[in-house]
Chain A
C-alpha cells in the first residue's frame, strides 16, 4: 500500500483526518441538506457543490464522482498513480472501486424533474455516467488514464474493504502488477430515508460502544490506495491479510452468534500467519447500532480476549457506507505510521455487557499490525489486516 488519500467529514487529506482524530474533533453536524427534515446528524465533505468534475469527463458530473475526484486530488495521489503508470504501463494497473449507491443522488434529482405528463426523466440525466454502479470506477479509471482490469464492487457496507481482497487476487493471478483500490459513497435521500425506515438512525452524533448508543450517523467519503505487488515497498504500510465470510442469517440484521464476523477476522489472521496476540489494535465496524456493536464485541473477545485495544472511528466520520472499508483502512494506516490508537468519540460509558477492551481515549503504542472490520447488509463480512514494514 504505497500511497493513499482520503476526503471525508474530518476534512480533505490525510493530515486533516489525523488532526481530527488527535484533537478529538468530530466531523458530524446536524442534518443540513436542502429540504431534508430528518432529525439526525450527518458527515459531509465540504465543497462538493462547487467543484464539478474536470471538463474532459463532464458527462460523469454528479455528487459521487465529484467526491471521487476530490479524493484522488489529495495527498499527491494522482501524481503517485501517474508515476506508477509510467513504471508498469496503464494496462497493468487495475481499478477497483467500492460504492453502495454510486450516482443515486443524481437519479433522485432527475426523478424530481420528471415530465409531469409523460413521466420521462430530464435530458441531462444518463444512467451510464451516474446511476450505474460502474460509473465511479469508470470515472476513476479515465481520470487516472489507466486501462487495466476495472470493476465496481458493491456489497453494501463492506464494499471498499472487499476491493483490497479482489485487487490482491488479480495481482497474484497475474492480471495486474498494481491496483488502485477505492471507495466512494455520497449522501443521498435513499440511504438517509432507508436507514430511517429501519429505525437505525441516531438523533445524536453516533456513539459506538456506548451503553446508550441508539443508531448510526451517515457520512460521505472517498478513499483511495495504490497497492503494488509484494516486495515493492521497503517501508510504510502493507496489506498483510484479508478475510471474508457470509452470515447466512438475515439481509439487514447481523447474526447474533457473531460467527460470520469471527470467521472474517480469523481468516485474515490465518492468511497472514499472524497470531491474535500480534495484533495491536482493532478498528471496529462499530456503527453505533445496539446489535452491531454487541455482536462485534463478542466476536472480537472470542478471538482476541480483552488484551487488544479496539475502537470505532465512526463517531468522527459517521458511517460512510460503501466508503467505510477504505476510509477505516486509511485510518489504520495513519495509526500504524504514528502509533496512535484513536479511541472512540462520543463514548461516555462503555456498554457494561462488553467483554473486549474498548479504547475510549487515545493511546500511543508501538503498532505493528492492526485489523479493520467491515460488515454489510446481506451478511457480507470483510476484515483487513494491515502491517507496518520496517
Chain B
C-alpha cells in the first residue's frame, strides 16, 4: 500500500479546543481539563448562514476550517469525506416526534438539514467549493471507515482530501440506546505528496480480529465512547518521534492498522 501524508489537523472536544492545545495535552505538557462549552459559533460564515447551520454541522465545519487554515489551502482544492455514526441526533429525534404527532408537520429546513451529507453540503455552500464530497457511516468504526474512503481518494486520484469525523451524544430517549458520552469532531487534511508541512506519513491496511489501540491515558474514558475520537490514539502515535503502529476499530469485527512515521 502506498502512503498518505497528514498535512494538518482540526480538533474539537471537551477540554480540546483546538489542535495546538490537543498536542500539548497528548504530549503531557498540559493536564486535560474537561470544560463544557457551547456549540462552535463559526466566525468564518456570514451571519445569516451561521444561524441556519444545524448542530452537528457546526462541529464539523469548525474543525474543517481549523485544518484548512493549518494547511494554508483553499477549500476549492480539497475533496471532503465526512463520517459520522449517528448523524444529527437532535434532528432525528425532532423528526420522529413530528411524524408521530397528530399534525405530522415537519419543518422544511429541518428536513433538508436531516441528510447525512448536511456538513459537506454546508461546507460547499459556505466556501463556494465545487469539489466532490461524500458522507459515510460505519457505526463504531465510522472513523476508520471514513479514513479508508479518504485514502482511496488520495491514492487513486492523487487528490488532497479533508476527512471530517464527528459524533455528538444523542438526546433522550435515543441516548438510552447509543452510548456516546462526549461530543467530538476531528478534521484531517490528507495528501498524496510529502510537502514541507507534512506531520506524519501513514500506511493503512485491514486485518482480522479486534482492534488493540489504547485510548490516550490522559483523556477521559467518556471521550473514548465517541466513534470520532478513535482518531485520538492515531494522532497521539503520530506525534511520536519514531515510527509506530496503531490498530483501530474497523467494521465487521476487523481492525485497521495504521503504520505512522514522522515526516520531520
Contacts and interface: CB of A to CB of B under 8 A. Distances in A.
Contacts, number: 219
A244 B132 contact: yes
Report, as a range, how many residues of chain A touch the other chain: 35 or more
B157 A108 contact: no
A193 B153 contact: no
A380 B114 CA distance: 14
A275 interface: no
Given A153-B136, A251-B121, A246 B129 contact: yes
Contact of A151 (B92, B145, B254): B145
Contacts of A111: 96-97, 99-100
Nearest to B172: A119
A100 to B, nearest CB: 7
A189 B103 CA distance: 12
Interface stretch (A129-137, A216-224, A323-331, A339-347): A129-137
A195 B99 CA distance: 12
A338 to B, nearest CB: 32
B178 A127 contact: yes
Contacts of A52: none
Contact of A147 (B104, B125, B128, B254): B254
Contact of B125 (A138, A166, A379): A379
Contacts of B176: 120-121
Contact of B117 (A121, A149, A250, A380): A380
Interface string B155-194: 1110000000000001011101110000000000000000
A91 B107 CA distance: 43
Interface stretch (A3-11, A170-178, A285-293): A170-178
B149 A151 contact: yes
B23 interface: no
Report, as a range, how many residues of chain B touch the other chain: 35 or more
Contacts of B131: 245-246
A128 interface: yes
A151 B148 CA distance: 10
A95 to B, nearest CB: 9
B114 A190 contact: yes
Interface hub of A131, A149, A379 (most chain B Cβ within 10 A): A149
Interface string A146-176: 1111111111100000100110111011110
B137 A152 contact: yes
A57 B86 CA distance: 22
Given A166-B134, A245-B132, A138 B139 contact: yes
B59 interface: no
B135 interface: yes
B145 A170 contact: no
A341 to B, nearest CB: 29
A246 B130 contact: yes
B19 interface: no
Contacts of B5: none
A107 B111 contact: no
Interface string B81-111: 0000111000010011111100011111001
18 contacts: A100-B115, A108-B96, A127-B177, A134-B139, A134-B251, A138-B251, A146-B252, A147-B252, A162-B134, A169-B152, A169-B155, A169-B157, A175-B151, A190-B96, A194-B95, A246-B133, A378-B117, A379-B125
Interface of A: 91, 100, 104, 107-108, 110-112, 114, 119-121, 125-128, 131-135, 137-138, 141-142, 146-156, 162, 165-166, 168-170, 172-175, 189-190, 193-198, 244-252, 259-260, 263, 376-380
